Amino acid sequence: MSQSNESKVSTGASVLAEVAAALQGSAPQVRTRLVSVLTERELVKRVDLLDKALVKRAQLQQELDSVRMPTKKVFKLVDGKMVEAQVEMTYTPEEAKKYQEDLKAFNKKRKEAEEKLAKFDKVLETAFVGDDNDPEALSKAFAKLGQMVAGKEQPTEQAESAE
């Protein structure tokens, strides 16, 4: 009878015993898998952030493109359609003053939009390629890019001088 008791060890118990034996030497495998999982998680975050950053860059480019120079347009009717007339513009003193103010505002808005896009591009480029001289540059770039995409930090002179 003792033989029948020994042979009645359940399959489940033997599998659990094998699992326990296999897990005893599994520390290096667990570590390797954990590193892989954490690395993959960070890579997914970075790819998602770069995707959002490219959308943000397109918005900044659109902002720049939408800045239009002030003009005084004259239209005339040609073949039943209104077309812009190519004539020499004459301005009254009030119109000339307003035009100069509008031109200053245009130049300021254009410069701001260009600077904003250039600073965003600089951070985006660093996030894409990193910096061989600074191993922490990639992490810093992704952190800054995350703030810029979220709108928490605008790429201004104050942010640049604070670093």
The model's pLDDT over 62-84, given as tens digits with 9 standing for 90+, comes to 999 998 887 767 677 778 887 77
Overall number of domains in the chain: 1
13 in a structural domain:
no
34 in a structural domain:
yes
77 in a structural domain:
yes
Nearest to 43 by CA among 121, 147, 142: 142
pTM of the predicted model as reported, rounded to 2 decimal places: 0.65
Which residues 6+ apart lie within 8 Å of 109 measured at CB?
A: 67
**Residue 123 pLDDT more than 50?**
yes
Which residues 6+ apart lie within 8 Å of 76 measured at CB?
A: 82, 83, 85
Residue 54 CA: distances (Å) to CA of 36, 43, 113, 121, 142: 27, 16, 16, 10, 13
Which structural domain range is residue 150 located in?
A: 24-162
132 in a structural domain:
yes
17 in a structural domain:
no
Q: What is the DSSP code (8-state) at residue 84?
A: E
